[in-house]
Every structure is written in C-alpha cells, then in structure tokens.
Amino acid sequence: MDKEAIADLIDAKHSELISWLEQQPSEHWTQGPEGKWTQGQQALHLLQSIKPLNDALSLPKYVLRFKFGKANRPVRDYNAIVKRYQERLEDAKGKTFKGSLNMKVPTIADKKYIFNRLQTESKKLQYKTKKISDKNLDTVILPHPLMGKMPVREIIMWTAYHVEHHTEILKRQY
C-alpha cells in the first residue's frame, strides 16, 4: 500500500469512528456493557495508541534505527497485518496490556477534548506518513506490545485497522 493510500485509510477510519461516536447518546460515553469498556474508554485507548506513534515518528530516523534496529524482512500487506493481529489477539485472550489496565472512564467534559486530540493526531499521522521516505517506511522498525517489532509502514497500516477494529466492537456492543 502506498503512502497516499495509507494516509487516506487513516483519515477514513478516524472519520468513521468520530462520526459514529458523535451520534451516540451521551450516557454511552461513561457507561458501557457490563465488564466492557465505555465508548469514552475505547476512544481514549485509540488516542493512547496513536500518540506514541506520532511521537516516535517525530524523532530523527537514525535514533529509531539505533534504538530498535532495521527491518530484516519484506513489508507485509494490509490483509496480512490484519490477519496476524487477529491471530495475536486470539492468542492473548484475556490478557490486558499495560497501557489499557485500569483504564479511567473519561467524563462527558473530556469528550470534546478526546475527539479533538484524536482528529489532530490522525492528521499528524497522515502528514508524517506522506512525508517519510519509502525507504524509511520499509526499513525503520518500531515495537508494538502485541505484534512485536514492525516496519513503520506496517505499524501505520495497523493503526488504521486498529481504529476499524474498535469501531466494529463499538457498533456490536451498542
């Protein structure tokens, strides 16, 4: 998938999520199905996952190469990344990762802020995706808590799917 298509996918997935959330009753933001995250927690989780990616992509690429190394395999396509993520989720059934443990429930007052931050971070990621060289997209790697080290191109495609994944969860639960 080329940079332009990835940036468009990031935009489409975030727009769909925010549009859907804006149409939901306010009480769903703070109250969810028993034992499941609220809509606010889902949105906060997505913000907490995109922010570190944007922060990492703001660093000089040589710093990332020094810290995490270089890719030693070809980049997988979008469908392969989705399939691998679903397999890893299945393997991790019941396991909650550090950043998602004891997730606070955002208040209604936090809703607009979280929407604005999600939209801003999405736009930043789109910009960074278009700006980074194809070579760096395919050779610079970043760690993912579930997927392991991934080339930047893959982790950005995964980010688009991650938003879709949570949007689908929300639509099923509400």
The full set of domains in the chain, from first to last, is 3-22+37-173 (1.20.120)
Two tokens, residue 1: 């998938």
Which pLDDT band holds residue 103 (cuts at 50, 70, 90)?
confident
SS3 120: helix
Percent of the chain with pLDDT over 90: 86
Choose the weakest-confidence range: 23-27, 75-79, 119-123.
Answer: 23-27
pLDDT tens, 7-65?
Answer: 999 999 999 999 999 999 999 999 988 888 999 999 999 999 999 999 999 999 999 99
Mean residue pLDDT across the chain: 94
